[in-house]
Amino acid sequence: MRITVWNENLHETRGDEVVRANYPRGIHGAIAEGLAAHFAGGDDVIRTATLQEPEHGLTDAVLAETDVLLWWGHIGHAQVADEVVAKVHERVLAGMGLLVLHSGHYSKIFQRLTGTTNSLLWRNEGERELVWTIDQTHPIAAGVPSPIVVPRQEMYGEPFDIPVPDELVFVSSFTGGEVFRSGVTYTRGLGRIFYFSPGDQEYPVYHQPEILQVLANGIRWAAPRQALRAQTAQNAPTDWFLT
């Protein structure tokens, strides 16, 4: 498995103290370290990439060697170059897996894949989030308790302006009573996409083993199942399938 963890890396580089306390090597660093235990095979590669790098670290070479891309963004969505978004989009349609994390719901790439605003209700008061498994047979929910208890979190609530998901894996509730479709899947072209909301810069959510288990499950689920290829129109003569 060849994994690339992308992070806008803005809270970290501008020196938000809470964020640096939670994630001294960045959110991308924490996720990459957390995944290392799950992908320790000889063929496994875990990279990170950030907004600040040339082409945001997502060069053709990196994308060509990425089976599954994780995307964390928050305050820098508008800074992501449209050319990079277009390339990631094209690669997802060809079969690359994509995990969109937390405030990445508003990222250009997720909006382009869903066709919706992905707006939601929110409140940041450090409430407890309970992440309930809805689809008990889904591989993304394997090996985690229902609910996963996240002690302190930003509240994300309905209405969540997304398309009807292909699969509804998790629904969360918060101390204040709101609910949220916190784990949903889509397919676009040959690419599989998993949006998972638990995880925030102000809380150490990405250090929780259950959360990392979900990310690892999501990566395995989203990994391409066949050689990547572009989706294109084909002109077909009569009886082409008999030859």
Which residues of this chain interact with its own copies, rule CB under 8 A? 89, 93, 95, 106, 112-117, 119-123, 125, 128, 130, 132-137, 139, 142, 145-147, 149, 155, 157-159, 161, 163-164, 166, 168, 171-173, 175-179, 181, 186-190, 192, 225-226, 231-239, 241-242
Q: The tokens 């897996």 sit on which residue?
A: 97
How far apart (Å, rounded) are the C-alpha atoms in residues 131 and 110?
22
Least distance between its own copies and beta carbon 63 (Å): 18
Least distance between its own copies and beta carbon 1 (Å): 17
**Helix or strand run (H / E) with residue 17:** helix 17-22
Burial class, 145, CB count within 10 angstroms (exposed 0-12 / middle 13-18 / buried 19+) = exposed
Tell me whether residue 36 or residue 231 sits nearer to its own copies (CB atom).
Answer: 231
Least distance between its own copies and beta carbon 43 (Å): 20
Tell me whether residue 79 or residue 117 sits nearer to its own copies (CB atom).
Answer: 117
- 3-state secondary structure labels for all residues of 90-117: HHHHHCCEEEEEHHHHHCHHHHHHHCCC
Least distance between its own copies and beta carbon 88 (Å): 12
Least distance between its own copies and beta carbon 144 (Å): 12
Tell me whether residue 47 or residue 112 sits nearer to its own copies (CB atom).
Answer: 112
How far apart (Å, rounded) are the C-alpha atoms in residues 231 and 215?
27
**Residue 35 per-residue DSSP state:** H
Tell me whether residue 32 or residue 205 sits nearer to its own copies (CB atom).
Answer: 205
**Residue 136 per-residue DSSP state:** T
Residues forming beta bridges with residue 101, ordered by sequence position: 72, 196
Angle (nearest 5°) at CA 159 between 206 and 221: 45
Tell me whether residue 33 or residue 168 sits nearer to its own copies (CB atom).
Answer: 168
166: which 2 tokens?
């292909």
Q: Is the peptide bond before 24 cis (omega within 30 degrees of 0)?
A: no
Tell me whether residue 17 or residue 232 sits nearer to its own copies (CB atom).
Answer: 232
Least distance between its own copies and beta carbon 208 (Å): 15
Least distance between its own copies and beta carbon 179 (Å): 5
Tell me whether residue 29 or residue 168 sits nearer to its own copies (CB atom).
Answer: 168
